[in-house]
Structure formats: structure tokens, C-alpha cells
Amino acid sequence: MDKGKKFYITTPIYYVNARPHIGHAYTTLVCDAVARRKRLLGYDTYFLTGTDEHGQKIERSATAAATTPQKFADQVAAEFRRLFDRMNISYSDFIRTTEPRHKQGVQELWKRLQEKGFIYKGTYTGQYCVYDEAYVDSAKPGDPCPDCGRITETVSEENYYFKLSAMAEQLLKHYQQTPDFIRPETRRNEVIAFVKGGLRDLSISRSTFKWGIPVPGDPKHVIYVWLDALSNYATAVGFGSKDKDEQQKFERYWPADVHMIGKEIIRFHCVYWPAFLMAAELPLPKAVIAHGWLLFEESKMSKSRGNIVRAETVIDVLGNDALRYFLLREIVFGQDGSFSFDAVVQRYNSDLANDLGNLSSRTLTMINRYFGGSIPYPSPLVAKKSADDSVREQAQATIVEFSELFDAYQFSRALESAWALVGSVNKYLVEEEPWIVAEKEGEENKARLATILYTAAEVLRIVTALAHPAIPESTAKIWNQLGLGDIDKFNLAELKWGQLPLGGKLGKVEPVFPRADKSAIERMQRMEQERALEKERTGQAPQTESAAASAAAQSPATTAPAAPQPAAVTAPGASAPADSKISIDDFLKVEMRVGQVKNAERVKGADKLLRLEVDIGTEVRQVVAGIALAYEPEKLIGRKVVIVANLAPRKLRGLESNGMIVAASAGDQGLPVLASFLEDVPIGAKLK
């Protein structure tokens, strides 16, 4: 039974050790745009995304957050799902690797690999990177991991191995025979070089932790997280199911047409995954397409740099389509691309608010005004100009060009070609001056006006249809305003010049892209700062490096130092709400200032306390701080410190303390480490 052409596309499944950020949003919205286009072209499209939830990192993070791995995973998976729903991502399925359907499929794949003789047991002793969940063959005990720089751990494990070494020839043959399997070309060359360098058997089980899918018949072991995770692409469409419908689903959709991934996981998708599938005698995905990294203002986003941007920030201020358009248009797909709030606002204003927004509002407003809201009849005979023909010809060429580029994953160039058409028709309107023609008397002028506005409206329709997969929300509105109904019912495969229904009634005409002013950038920056603060404050869910560090920073109540994170400096009397989150307003009640130590001495009879005189710009304060075990008083003189300036005075050992010095609490002993600045800061500067 043929139900027409199918298209199956996947995002990577996202590891729940990190909260969703704009990088995840990018991969997902690219897939969404591709899936939407395929649907409009009439493909039976299956679009899969989901979360990767097993492994030692999750087990450890859950322990650190005092919860179970399952609850930890539930929480973060829900965050991903919330983001994708907020982004209006049109996924068909969201798979979680902790679901029974997935576990059963992975175990089935294991059994097949075992039956076909590709699994054996062996012992491994060597270095292991917990963060990357990978053995580091080249490292000696104490060496850092070459990928992430963290110190590797020595492990000795009896493991199951997959005979990866046996697959090298078959893999190379596949790369050669199917040049489109890995894209872009640079990634393909990288993979070929890696396989040619020799493949070693791959350890595919772990017995040092429990959070994973048990190895069939040997539940002391759990299945290696990458074998587990990669299988999702097959288990989501029913692989390993006993259910007849699910089996049919697998028959229908497997193999996947596209696995879309970030370039850092190319080896897993282009070497390991096809090797597993070949060994299990299952068809291989048709293509693995790797995109580059999203850089924030030129540097890689990372937790340690603290420059991870959330998609919601752009969405809240400018809307989904602004984010989608920017990422698809600005980044050359496959290469690294830079993201900044300035650039997003600039793109939004120039391409959406100005170019497309103006074309739409001008054209539709004039049709309303001069033709009572009915699409005018262009006159093929009277008052026709070559300018009309050249717009029409460009539109026809754009349909072809846009489609070729978009289907070749060159989103940026595809949108560029559509916007070149928008630019041409805007220029055409300026030159043909329909508003002047409308002032003139006579049938000929009326016919000329009709032709101009019909031409503009037809271009608007074509661009709207082409751009719909990229910017679905705004194009759906424009389509409606053109009086064309539900854009998702349109058959994009039939798009051509001249389909605008003559005499058709426009819908209600409203602006679609309100201009963004300068404050949009500031608003986004402020939101990011507030979100970062909120995250640090709540300290729940995924444990970031900084959160892990601050979790250890608890200072004894009798001494003055406090951890630098805002949660520890709540002003007296300000009680936190039940869920332990406070609003930004609560945080702003705390006044932190830069001060300079003018004088310092030990407090008699208290070996932890120092009496300090701190200049905070407006006055010199006496502060008693519990930092004597870590700091010699004379060495503090002249040093700049952070103090909480609006803390109610309190007495320590008979001395009044007017403020609190901000310090981290480090190590098992909880030794204080004073907060300080790399740059020079003026005395009295406020922290916010």
C-alpha cells in the first residue's frame, strides 16, 4: 500500500544534563523549517526530536541535586518540550530514552548484534572521561581529557565490546558509493580520514553505574549511552516493537532521510551508528547533515564563559519568526555563525519590518483603498510595461532557485533569493508610483493601477508561500490577509505565477512586523541577565559548574563571610517565597558595593574574625568578617572587596559590624575566598 512519498527527519536527541539554549533551538528550528517545506510539498513527513536521558553524568547530577535520575530527567525533558512548544515546532514525535518503547528497541538491537556475532566480552583498564562518557586511550592516569580538558579517571571494567574494527571496509565503501551520506564535504573528509586511520573495537557496556538500559541477560551492565541514544531514531518509529502498527510504522519511515546534527557529534552518527545498523543488517539513514556552531558575539557559547543565550529571550521580545529568520538567513548552514542581539534586531528591521512588511502593508492597503479590497484584474493588453514582465520573470526564476537552494540546505541563499525579489518589487512600486497613477482619471490609468497592484500582490503571495517554512507565523497572517485562507493547505509543489484569484477578497489588513527600536536590544540583554541570576539563585535542576561550586559555599552563621551568589545575601526580613525563588525586585533590595580595606586587625579572642575598616566611597565602615583563617590582616590593606552595604548592623564579639564582606566558601573546610575583580573598579561602584 503506497501512501505517497515519505520524509523522515530527526534532530539529535538533547542531553538532559544541560538546559535548553539557543543552540538546541537552532538545530530544531532548522529541522522544523525542512519538515514544514516537505509537508507543503505533499510528503508524508515524520519529524522526530527528543531527549537523551541516561548515563553517568545524569546519575551524578541527580545525586548532586538530591533527586533521582528519573525525576532529574523528567524536569529537564519537560523544559525542552516547553521550549519547542513555545517555538511552535511542528514535531511529530518527542522521544525520551527512558520510555519503555525505546528501552525495548535498544535491547532488541543489542540482541541482533549479539546473534550476528558482533558483541564479545573483554576487560578494559584505562582512562575515562566522565564528562564526555568516553574512554581516552591516549591518556595516562592523571591526564586531562583531550576533548574537554577535565581530568580523566582510571577505570578497570569488564565490558562488552562491539566489533567496530570489522566494519571499516564496509563503511568506507558506503561513504564512497553514497557521496551524499555525509554533508557538508568537509565533514565527510573528516570522517573518511578517521576511519582510514583505523577503527578499534568499541566498548558498549558499563558496569560502574546503574543509570542506563540493562544489557539483555546480564543486568549488571548497562548499555553504553551512545548506543542507547543513537537507537532512538529507529525505536521512535517502532523498531523492536511487538505491536503490528508500530512494525508497519517502521517499515514505512525507516530509514531516516535526514539526521540533522551539530558537527561535534559527527563521528557518532557517521561511524558508530551506521556500523551498528550494518551489523544488525538494517538499512542506513540516507543522509547525516552537520551544521556548525552558534557563536555568541564571536565566541563559543559555554557554561564556563557564562554566555549561553536562551531562545526565549529573542522570542519574548521579537517573536518566533524573528529568531527563525535570523538564524536561517544570517548563518551559512554548515559553518559556524555568530549570534548577537544587535544583529538580530538589525536583520528583523531591515528584512522583515522594512522589506517584507512594507511590501505587504503597502500593497494590501492600496488594494483596499483603490479596489475596495478585491484583487484587481491585471490588464494583459492595456498599459502593459516591460517592468511588469521583468518582475514576473524574476518571480518565476525565484521559485525555481529558492527551491533548489532550500532543498540543498542552503537556507541563507534561498532566503536571499526570495528577498532579492522583494527588493525588486519594492523598487518597482517606487518607480511605477501606483499612488500617483491612482490620482489620474480614465480607464487606462485604472487598468495600469490594477496591473501594478496585481503584480505586487502576486509577488507577495509567492514570497509568502516560499518563506512559510522559514517564518510560519507571520506568513500565515499575510496569506490570510491576501484572502487565501489556511496556508498549510496550500500545495507548494504547484506554486507558479498567476494563481492569485482575481476579484478575491482580502482579509483584514494589519501590520505583521512592528518595527523594533533600540530598547529591544537592551530588553533582551536585561532578560538574559535576569534569567542567569534566577538560575543561579534557584540552584535547582541541571548542575552547572558554577552552581556546583556555589552549592558548596555555605558559610557558618556566626561568622560574617557569605557566598557570592545572591541567594546567600538576602537582606534581613526579606523572606523568600515558598519555592525559594525570589523576584528581581527582591534581589535589588540588596545593595552591594565595591569597597577598599583601609585598616584590618585581628579580633581578640576570636581566631576567625577580622575587624576591617572599609571605604565604600561615601563613608568608611567597620565590618567584622570571619576571614582570619584565610587572610592575614596586613595583606588586606588596600585591597578592593565587595560588601553588602545595606545590611542592618549587628554585633560580633562586642564589635558592631556594618555590612558583610562577600566571599565564596571553598573546599571541604569552607575557607573563605574574597570576591574580587579582574578589571579595575572604582570604590563605591554598585554591583547589580
Which residues of the chain form contacts with Zn ion (CB under 5 A)?
A: 129, 131-132, 145, 147-148
Q: State the nearest-atom distance from the C-beta of 146 to Zn ion, in Å.
A: 8
Placement of cell 537582606 in the chain: 571
Per-residue CA distances from 486 to 65, 108, 460, 491 (Å): 47, 43, 16, 11
Nearer CB in complex with Zn ion: 132/246? 132
CA distance 226 to 364: 53
| Of residues 665, 636, 645, 659, the one with CA closest to residue 564 | 665
Nearer CB in complex with Zn ion: 56/98? 56
Q: State the nearest-atom distance from the C-beta of 301 to Zn ion, in Å.
A: 18
Contacts of 353 (CB under 8 A, 6+ apart): 513, 514, 515, 516
Mind spelling out the 3-state secondary structure of 118-176?
Answer: CEEEEEEEEEEECCCCEEECCCCCCCECCCCCCECEEEEEEEEEECHHHHHHHHHHHHH
| Of residues 78, 7, 8, the one with CA closest to residue 234 | 8
Q: Residue 507 burial (CB < 10 Å; 0-12/13-18/19+)?
A: middle
Per-residue CA distances from 140 to 148, 151, 202, 486 (Å): 16, 10, 19, 62
Per-residue CA distances from 624 to 298, 648, 665 (Å): 44, 13, 17
The CB-side HSE value for 250 (13 A sphere, CA atoms) comes to: 20
| Of residues 36, 32, 43, the one with CA closest to residue 10 | 32
Nearer CB in complex with Zn ion: 150/686? 150
Q: State the nearest-atom distance from the C-beta of 526 to Zn ion, in Å.
A: 34
Nearer CB in complex with Zn ion: 129/284? 129
Q: State the nearest-atom distance from the C-beta of 129 to Zn ion, in Å.
A: 3
Contacts of 21 (CB under 8 A, 6+ apart): 301, 308, 309, 310, 311
Q: State the nearest-atom distance from the C-beta of 326 to Zn ion, in Å.
A: 32
Nearer CB in complex with Zn ion: 133/157? 133
Please identify the residue of the shown chain whose CB is closest to the bound Zn ion.
145
CA distance 520 to 313: 10
Q: State the nearest-atom distance from the C-beta of 27 to Zn ion, in Å.
A: 22
Nearer CB in complex with Zn ion: 131/194? 131
Nearer CB in complex with Zn ion: 10/127? 127
Which grid coordinates are listed for 256? Answer: 531516516
Q: What angle do CA 325, 457, 386 make, to 5 degrees?
A: 110
Q: State the nearest-atom distance from the C-beta of 151 to Zn ion, in Å.
A: 9
Peptide bond into 556 cis (omega under 30): no
Nearer CB in complex with Zn ion: 57/259? 57
Nearer CB in complex with Zn ion: 150/653? 150
Which grid coordinates are listed for 245? Answer: 502498527
Which grid coordinates are listed for 647? Answer: 545590611
Judge whether 616 and 683 are in contact, CB under 8 Å.
yes
State the CB neighbour count (10 A cutoff) for residue 55: 26
Q: State the nearest-atom distance from the C-beta of 170 to Zn ion, in Å.
A: 29
Q: State the nearest-atom distance from the C-beta of 295 to Zn ion, in Å.
A: 21
Pairing mode of beta strands 44-52, 6-10? parallel
Nearer CB in complex with Zn ion: 147/634? 147
Q: State the nearest-atom distance from the C-beta of 312 to Zn ion, in Å.
A: 29
Nearer CB in complex with Zn ion: 129/271? 129
Q: State the nearest-atom distance from the C-beta of 455 to Zn ion, in Å.
A: 59
Nearer CB in complex with Zn ion: 147/251? 147
> What is the SS3 assignment for 600?
strand
Q: State the nearest-atom distance from the C-beta of 143 to Zn ion, in Å.
A: 11
Nearer CB in complex with Zn ion: 128/296? 128
> What is the SS3 assignment for 500?
coil
Q: State the nearest-atom distance from the C-beta of 233 to Zn ion, in Å.
A: 25
Nearer CB in complex with Zn ion: 148/430? 148
Which grid coordinates are listed for 313? Answer: 529571550
Convert 130-141 to b/e letters by CB count within 10 Å (16 or more is b): bbebbbbeebee
Q: State the nearest-atom distance from the C-beta of 136 to Zn ion, in Å.
A: 7
